[in-house]
Amino acid sequence: MSTKRKLFSNFLSLAILQGLNYILPLLTVPYLTRVLGSTSQGLIFTGQAMNVIFVTVTDYGFNLMATKQIAIARDDKEQIRRIHSTVLTVKLLLMVISFLVLLGICLIVPKYNEHFVFYVLFFGITVGTVLFPVYLFQGMEEMKYITILNVISKTIFTVGIFVFIRDKGDLMYSPILLSAGYITVGVISLFMVRYKFGIKWISPKLTDVKYQLRQGWSVFVSNAAVSAFTAGNTVLLGLFANQKQVFYYGGAEKLINAAVSVVNPVAGALFPHISSLAHESKEQAVQFLRKSLWAVLLVTVPITVVTIVLAEFIVTIFYGFHYEQVVLALRILSFLPIIIGLNNLFGVQTMITFGYEKAFMRIMLITVIINLVLTVFLVPQYGYVGTAIAVLLTELSITVREYVFLRRQGIRIL
């Protein structure tokens, strides 16, 4: 298969995947909101946000760094086996640590202790994600398998919601169904890796473990920073306010994430290609990135405009009438598709690919401080509106800092 056809195939697979990742859950949102109510929906958003943080910890940046390593060594099966075995082992260890942290939080914090079993059941999302070696499929540019497996996961969850959840007493089925989908896909993917691709798990060497931890550290810190001001802000909102406030912000975030998901297939398909291209010629990679920039803007600018104009209509369709609070939050967050699209291009696609992981990490660490200051001042006083403003300003800060850094390095994409 030619490079262009392979790139288009990967983009198409990831486009379908991202569409299903957000469209199928969104099909259940109107139903769950009406059946369970905004408070219960807020609990679900909190459980999902907590697992976004745990998934970030267990991923440890491997979905970028291990993907890059496998993309470069794709013809060396022995090397791929070593990378996969080491990464999977480290992810499993981080999963155990994350679960212990979850137990500690649920035992110590009264608001979480009240729903102890609910949040523990949600941890199945993290378990399934750890078992699913996305980095391997992406590095080998076999994204169609990611799509197929995720269709299975989301279908299990979506169908199960309509079958099992009929009233407020059925809330507990939500984390059970969602976790079941993720874990099923994770187990199937491991069988595929072993029997379709012939990649066996081998006991990793300590030197390989240390190497992967060093390689992923900068990206991990950067990703952890992102989680701190996205999913982390949702968790903090639940502590500072109540679950209705979480629903107002989380409802808008769900919708805007669906819009942002349009950018993700482009980013996912481009990363292994740009990594390979930059390995051969930095100049060619920069030229390719410049073309990619206009493609990102062409997609994200119309999405932002449509979201602002039709915010009230969109919220009414998904959540019903009398949710003006969600409309306001959605309009504040509507600029995120453009900002995150540029953020990904400048940061992940360029800085990570060209080896500026430490600089990328420093930008993210500074951003965490900015976000914490904004959250402390805005959220207690303005609730969900303060959270939305804090997230928007934080994402904008990242993009500006990345752009300035690249200009100083003589890399002019824009």
pLDDT in tens, 83-139: 888 999 999 999 999 999 999 998 988 888 888 999 999 999 999 999 988 888 777
For CA atoms 111, 117, 122, 126, give the dihedral sign.
positive
In a domain, 413, yes or no: no
Report which residue type is found at 322: H
- Output the pTM of the full model: 0.74
The number of folded domains in the chain is 1
pLDDT tens-digit map of 322-349: 788 999 999 999 999 999 989 888 887 7
In a domain, 127, yes or no: yes
CA–CA separation, 200 vs 188, rounded Å? 15
In a domain, 158, yes or no: yes
Average pLDDT over the chain reads 83
Look at residue 101 in the predicted model and tell me its pLDDT: 94
Neighbours of 177 (CB within 10 A): 21
Write out the residue range of the structural domain in which residue 151 sits.
3-408
Where are the strands (E) in 40-84, listed by range? none
DSSP output for 268-329: HHHHHHHHHHHHH-HHHHHHHHHHHHHHHHHHHHHHHHHHHHTHHHHHHHHH-SS-HHHHHH
pLDDT tens-digit map of 38-54: 888 888 888 888 898 99
User: In sequence order, what are the residues at sequence separation of 6 or more whose Cβ sits closer than 8 angstroms to the Cβ of residue 261?
Assistant: 18, 19, 21, 22
Q: Are 236 and 376 in contact (CB under 8 A)?
A: no
The two structure tokens encoding residue 316: 């009414």
Q: Are 332 and 389 in contact (CB under 8 A)?
A: yes
In a domain, 414, yes or no: no
Neighbours of 161 (CB within 10 A): 22
Look at residue 268 in the predicted model and tell me its pLDDT: 59
Q: How far apart are the first and last CA of the chain?
A: 32
Report which residue type is found at 413: I
CA–CA separation, 103 vs 119, rounded Å? 9
In a domain, 172, yes or no: yes
Among 336, 321, 376, residue whose Cα is nearest residue 253: 336
CA–CA separation, 342 vs 338, rounded Å? 6
- H-helix or E-strand containing 372? helix 357-382
In a domain, 20, yes or no: yes
Percent of the chain with pLDDT over 70: 88
Instruction: Report the range of poorest mean pLDDT among 40-44, 60-64, 205-209.
Output: 60-64
Neighbours of 239 (CB within 10 A): 13
Per-residue DSSP letter, 200: -
For CA atoms 253, 386, 323, 303, give the dihedral sign.
negative
